[in-house]
A and B are shown apart, each in its own frame.
Chain A
Amino acid sequence: MFLALKEMARAKVRFALLVAAIALLVFLILFQQSLQNGLITGFIGAIRNQSAPVLVYSVDGQRTVQGSIITPELDAQVRAAPGVGEIGPIGQGTFTGQPVAGDGDTYDTSLFGYELGPEGEGLGHPTTLIEGRLPTADFEGVASDADVDLGYGVGDVITLLPGDLEITIVGVAEDVQLNVSPTIFTSYDTYIAAVQSRNPDAGTPLPNVLAVSPAEGTTPDQLVTSINDQSLELDALTREDAAADTPGVAQVQQSFNIIFLLYGLVVPCVTGLFFLIITFQKANSLTLLRAIGAPARRLVASLLIQVVIIVGLGLIVGTLLYLPLTGRNIGGLQLRFETGAVIFWSVLLMSLGVLSSLVAARRVLRIDPIEATTGAGVSVGR
C-alpha cells in the first residue's frame, strides 16, 4: 500500500493523465447511456406507459401510430375475434401547439386521443400519472413531465394552430412522449375536433389504432394471435412489442451497442497499456525489491491497488462530470441519472481494468531476483 501510493505521488502527472482519460471515457459512456434511454423513451414512452395491453395497427401503418388507420371493416374484424374484452379507439395526430403562457413559441405537439371512460381511466389512458389528474372532459389533457418547462404543466393552456383550439393541462405523467415531441393524452372527441379545426377538408377521421384488453382467461399474447388470425390487414401487438418494434427503436439500440462496445474496449486497453509500460520502466527497482526480499505477491498486490485506485478515481470523476447533465433537457430529450447504468458500468470497467493489468502482473511475477546482482546495466532506452 505504502509503495503503491508513494509511486503515484512521485509521478503525479502520468497518473493524473490516466485518471483523466478514464474519467472522460466514463463520462461519455454514461452520457450516451442516458441519451439512449432518453431517446427510446422519447420515441415510444406514450406507447409503453398507456393502459391497453394490446394495440392493433393496420399493417399499412408499419407499426407507427401515425401511419396506421383502422377502417370500419378492420374494426369489425377485431371485434369479431375471440378473446376480445374491451375495445377503444386511439386517435393520434401531430399539431402545432402554442402554450398560452409562453412567449409565443410553438412546438410540434402530439395528441393521443382515447375514450375517456369513467374518471378518464378508459383504455389507453396514461399509467404513470405523477401530478394532477386524468382528463374527465373534452379539451382537457395530460402532458409528459419532460415538457412541463416548455409550458405544458398542470394548469397551462395549449392552443393548437391554425384552428385556435384550446386544451387545458390537468395532469402530468412520467415518460409519455411520442416521437420525441410534447404529447398530450386527451379525449378521442378532442382529437377529432383538433383534426377538423386544422383541415376543414377532412370529414370525421378514422381511429389510427385500436386499444384492446383481453377477456377473462385470455392472455395478451393469445389475444394478439387471435386478432392477427382474423385478417392479414391487421397487425396486433402487445404493448411491449408495440414499443420495441416501432421503426427506429431497434436502430437506435444497435447503433448505441456498437458505440458502447468500442468505448468499453478503450478503457481496459488504456489501463493495461499504462500499467504494462510503467512495470517495464521500473523493472530495475522491482528486481532490487525482490532481491532484498519483497515477496512477489506483495508487488503484484501493490500493482492491483494502484489499478483499483486509478480506475475508481476515474469512475468517480466521470460520474461527477455526468451528474450536472442529468435532469437537463436536450432538445426535448429528458436526461436522467441512470443509477443502474452507473452501477453496471462501474463494475464492468473496474473488472476489465483489473483484468487488463494482469498482463503487467505476469511480468512482475516473472522477475528473477538474481538479475539484481548481474547488473544488466542501465542501457539507454530500456
Chain B
Amino acid sequence: MSTTHAANSTVTGNALELADVRKVYTLGDGSEIVALDDATLTLASDEIIALVGPSGSGKTTLCSIAGGILSATSGSIVVGGEDISGHNARQLTTFRQEKVGFVFQSVNLVPFLTARENLLVVDELGRRTGAPARERADQLLDELGLADRAKNLPAQLSGGQRQRVAIGRALMNDPALVLFDEPTSALDTKLGEQVMELIRQEMKTRGTAAIVVTHDERITHYCDRSVHIVDGALRD
C-alpha cells in the first residue's frame, strides 16, 4: 500500500541529510572522546543503506542522532524535511513519534503486550487515532505473516517472529526513516536472510528509507549501498 508520504515533502525529498555532525563527550578529567567526527551523509527518500563498522566505531551514535534520540554537539540534521538540529527534548519526542521507526538489537518488545498491542503502542503514546491505527496494525501483521499470532505475547513467539513484530511496530507511524540496529545478530544465517528479505521488501514497497547498522558482511547485499564507519569517521 502506498500512502502519500506527506511527512517527506521537501525540495530535495531526501529522507536524511547529515552535514558535519560531531558528537563529543567530555570526561570528568577534562579529556574528550570524539564519538562522531564531522559525519556527512545523505539518504534518498527510498534508499536502504548498510552502516558497517567494528564495535566502538560510532555507528550506534550516528543512528541515535539521526533518530533524534541523541543530540549532536554540532552539525545539521534534517530528517524527512524536518531540521532537528536545534530541537529540545520535547520536540525530539514528538519527532520520534511521527517520523522515525526503530528496530532495536535486543528487540525490546513490551513483554506483557500481545503482538498486536505492541504495534499499537506508538499510536497510544502519540496521536491516538483509534480505529485507523488498529486497521493499520492488522494490515501490517498480515503482510508480515503474523496474522494468526496477533494475540500472542512475546514469550510465546519465536525469535524471528518477535523480530517481525518489531519491524511492524517500526512501520506503524509511516516514518520517513527506519533504523535497524543489528537485526540479524541473534539469528542464524537462514533466518537472517529471511529477515533481510522482509526488510527490503517492506521498505521498497513503501518507499521508506532505512539505515541497517551491522557488522555482518553477509547481509549488505540486501542494501542499496554500504557506508563504512571507523573511529567516528565515515568512509564510502
Contacts and interface: CB of A to CB of B under 8 A. Distances in A.
Interface stretch (A165-173, A275-283, A374-382): A374-382
Nearest to A378: B106
Interface string A158-183: 00000000000000000000000000
A381 B106 contact: no
Interface in B96-147: 106, 108-112
Contacts of B111: 379-382
Contacts of A380: 106, 108-111
Nearest to A377: B106
Interface residues of A, number: 6
Interface string B193-227: 00000000000000000000000000000000000
Contacts of A379: 106, 111
Nearest to B186: A377
A381 B108 CA distance: 10
Contacts, number: 13
In this complex, the member of A378, A380, A382 whose beta carbon has the largest number of chain B beta carbons within 10 angstroms is A380
Interface residues of B, number: 6
Nearest to A381: B111
Contacts of B109: 380
Contacts of B112: 381
Contacts of A377: 106
Contacts of A381: 110-112
B125 to A, nearest CB: 16
Contacts of B108: 380
Contacts of A382: 111
A378 B111 CA distance: 12
Contacts of A378: 106
A381 B155 CA distance: 12
B12 to A, nearest CB: 38
Nearest to A379: B111
Contacts of B106: 377-380
A109 B112 CA distance: 68
A380 B108 CA distance: 6
A92 B86 CA distance: 87
A148 to B, nearest CB: 63
A382 to B, nearest CB: 8
Interface string A353-382: 000000000000000000000000111111
A382 B154 CA distance: 13
Nearest to B109: A380
A377 B162 CA distance: 14
In this complex, the member of A377, A378, A379 whose beta carbon has the largest number of chain B beta carbons within 10 angstroms is A379
Nearest to A382: B111
A274 to B, nearest CB: 23
A377 B155 CA distance: 13
A150 B164 CA distance: 81
A19 B110 CA distance: 33
Nearest to B111: A381
A380 B106 CA distance: 9
A377 B112 CA distance: 17
A128 B120 CA distance: 78
Given A380-B106, A380-B108, 9 more contacts: A377-B106, A378-B106, A379-B106, A379-B111, A380-B110, A380-B111, A381-B110, A381-B112, A382-B111
Interface of A: 377-382
13 contacts: A377-B106, A378-B106, A379-B106, A379-B111, A380-B106, A380-B108, A380-B109, A380-B110, A380-B111, A381-B110, A381-B111, A381-B112, A382-B111
Q: 4 shortest A-B CB distances, which residue pairs?
A: A381-B111, A380-B108, A380-B111, A379-B111
